[in-house]
């Protein structure tokens, strides 16, 4: 009996199996030999019988498919933005510590979709301290003609940092709303006046709701005011939240005498003017995340002590900072670390652009909580 090696030869009566790279995977009695690296079978041929051996490509186990966590699951495991405050404070401090902080975070990439007036942002980050690797994909479309679609939509991808495999795909809109509010609350804790009584919210979208929920939980305001360009949305907001909210007919009415001001709008030109601002007030400027967009005028920016989440991002992405020429005093992480002072006795602005590392720690918290329950 002769023995021949015919690479790629299909053994007799062996049907192809789905999932095999060559479509020739055996089954039954041949499976063990196949996994061992080759298959040999007796084949009848003219002139006698021969043994035919088939080379089998190395078996590689594919990674498990990623888990998908929808908005309801994310909301369940991140039911309060306050859960994020400790980990976000640590992340902000690590970011402002440079290389020794272990945060790798390039500036976000923004792709304009000019045909539809939209934008796609890509926000990757790695935290060595948390050993967590994520990328957030976020879109912004103003949807002037279709208010049924959210202006901001986001998805967070969480990877295994040891081998790059995708572990989780999770809704990023809940994460974005809550981590943004949590960072604003951290800034407010350090920068608001000690006797703050009046909270003013300019805007009535998703961020207005997430900020209101957390700020009324974390701080004791005697009065909350809201203004929105579309008054019906401000009225709807006031009716839907738990506490009393005064709906104002103008931004100036809402701002005058307020101790803490939140600008959470999609404005592209200023809606908050320095002449309205009470000396010593604190402003969280959350909207206007493009270099040619603004929420605050020059007077508001230049007459305040300016704090940012990231110097690099603020100098490249924030129209409020770039167009006013305002000087950045400190990153919020530097205040948390104690290397730069908080100045609550001054009029202060925290320009929040949102950072990928904030999404990273939020995604980790959600995934760890989900994993513990499964």
In this prediction, residue 372 carries a pLDDT of 95
Buried b (16+ CB within 10 A) or exposed e, 148-172: eeeebebbbbbbebeeeeebbbbbb
Task: Give me the mean pLDDT over the 78-100 stretch.
Answer: 97
User: For residue 316, is pLDDT > 70?
Assistant: yes
Torsions phi, psi of 281, nearest 5? Answer: -70, 160
Is residue 232 pLDDT above 60, yes or no? yes
pLDDT of residue 147: 66
Q: What is the mean pLDDT of residues 28-35?
A: 38
pLDDT above 90 as % of the chain: 78
Residue 5 in this model has a pLDDT that exceeds 50: no
The mean pLDDT value for 226-234 works out to 96
Q: What is the pLDDT of residues 107-143, one digit of tens each?
A: 999 999 999 999 999 999 999 999 999 999 999 987 6
**pLDDT reported for residue 151:** 81
Mapped onto helix, strand or coil, the DSSP state of residue 342 is coil
Band of residue 146 on the pLDDT scale cut at 50, 70, 90? low
In the predicted model, is pLDDT for residue 234 greater than 90? yes
Q: Please report, for residues 50, 253, 349, the alpha-carbon distance to residue 346 in angstroms, rounded to integers and kept in the order given.
A: 92, 22, 10
pLDDT on residue 142 = 76
**Bigger pLDDT: 344 vs 145:** 344
Q: What is the mean pLDDT of residues 46-51?
A: 51
End-to-end CA distance of the chain: give it in Å, rounded.
Answer: 57
Tokens coding 8: 């790629």
- Residue predicted with more confidence, 148 or 294: 294
Q: Using one digit for the tens of pLDDT, what is the confidence trace for 348-358?
A: 999 999 999 99
Angle, CA 86 vertex, CA 137 and CA 208 arms, to 5° = 55
Across the beta sheet with 38-45, what order do the strands follow? 2-5, 48-55, 38-45
39, HSE (Cβ side, Cα atoms, 13 Å)? 24
For residue 99, count CB atoms less than 10 angstroms from its CB and return exposed for 0-12, middle for 13-18, buried for 19 or more: exposed
pLDDT at 13 over 50: no
At 19, is the pLDDT very low, low, confident or very high (cuts 50, 70, 90)? very low
Rounded mean pLDDT of the chain?
87
Dihedral over alpha carbons 280, 204, 83, 363 (to 10 degrees) = -120
What confidence score (pLDDT) does residue 145 get?
A: 66
The single residue listed with the structure tokens 């299909």 is: 10
Phi–psi pair at 318, nearest 5 degrees: -95, 115
Give the chain's count of helices (H) and strands (E).
12, 18
CB 210 within 8 A of CB 181: yes
pLDDT of residue 152: 85
Instruction: Write the pLDDT tens digit of every residue in 161-204.
Output: 999 999 999 999 999 999 999 999 999 999 999 999 999 999 99
Mean pLDDT, range 339-351, rounded to an integer: 98
Question: 149 pLDDT band (50/70/90 cuts)?
Answer: confident
More confident residue, 211 or 28: 211
Dump pLDDT digits (tens) for 248-268: 999 999 999 999 999 999 999
Residue 370 pLDDT exceeds 90 = yes
Is the pLDDT at 6 greater than 70? The verdict is no
What was the pLDDT predicted at 30?
Answer: 34
| Least reliable range by pLDDT among 89-93, 96-100, 140-144, 214-218 | 140-144
Of 79, 121, 162, which Cα lies nearest the Cα of 369? 79
Pairing of the two strands 152-159 and 132-141: antiparallel
For residue 148, the model assigns a pLDDT of 73
User: Mean pLDDT, to the nearest integer, of 13-37?
Assistant: 40
CA distance 133 to 224: 38
DSSP-assigned beta bridge partners for residue 39: 54
Q: What is the pLDDT of residue 150?
A: 80
The pLDDT of residue 54 is above 80: no
């Amino acid at each position: 009996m002769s023995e021949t090696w015919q690479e790629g030869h299909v053994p007799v009566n062996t049907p192809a199996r789905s999932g095999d790279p060559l479509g020739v995977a055996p089954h039954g009695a041949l499976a063990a030999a196949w996994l061992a690296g080759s298959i040999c079978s007796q084949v009848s041929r003219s002139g006698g019988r021969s043994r035919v051996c088939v080379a089998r490509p190395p078996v590689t186990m594919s990674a498990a498919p990623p888990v998908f966590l929808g908005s309801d699951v994310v909301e369940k495991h991140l039911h309060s933005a306050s859960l994020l405050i400790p980990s976000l404070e640590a992340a902000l401090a690590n970011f402002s510590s440079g290389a020794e902080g272990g945060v790798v975070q390039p500036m976000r990439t923004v792709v304009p979709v000019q045909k539809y007036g939209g934008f796609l942002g890509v926000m990757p980050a790695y935290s060595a301290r948390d050993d967590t690797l994520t990328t957030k994909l976020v879109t912004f479309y103003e949807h002037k003609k279709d208010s049924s679609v959210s202006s901001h939509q986001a998805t967070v991808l969480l990877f295994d940092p040891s081998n790059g495999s995708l572990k989780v795909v999770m809704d990023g809109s809940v994460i974005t709303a809550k981590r943004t509010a949590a960072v604003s609350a951290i800034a407010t804790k350090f920068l608001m006046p000690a006797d703050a009584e009046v909270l003013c919210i300019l805007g009535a979208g998703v961020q207005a709701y997430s900020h209101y929920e957390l700020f009324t939980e974390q701080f004791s305001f005697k009065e909350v005011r809201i203004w929105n360009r579309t008054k019906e949305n401000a009225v709807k907001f006031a009716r839907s939240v738990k506490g009393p909210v005064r709906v104002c007919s103008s931004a100036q009415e809402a701002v005058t005498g307020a101790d803490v001001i939140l600008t959470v709008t999609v404005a592209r030109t200023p809606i908050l003017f320095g002449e309205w601002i009470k000396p010593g007030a604190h402003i969280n400027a959350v909207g206007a995340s493009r270099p040619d967009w603004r929420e605050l005028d020059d007077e508001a920016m230049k007459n305040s002590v300016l704090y940012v989440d990231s110097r690099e991002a603020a100098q490249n992405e924030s129209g409020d900072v770039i167009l006013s020429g305002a000087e950045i005093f400190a990153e919020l992480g530097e205040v948390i670390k104690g290397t730069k002072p908080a100045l609550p006795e001054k009029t202060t602005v925290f320009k929040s652009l949102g950072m990928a590392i904030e999404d990273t720690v939020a995604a980790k918290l959600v995934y760890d909580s989900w994993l513990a329950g499964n």
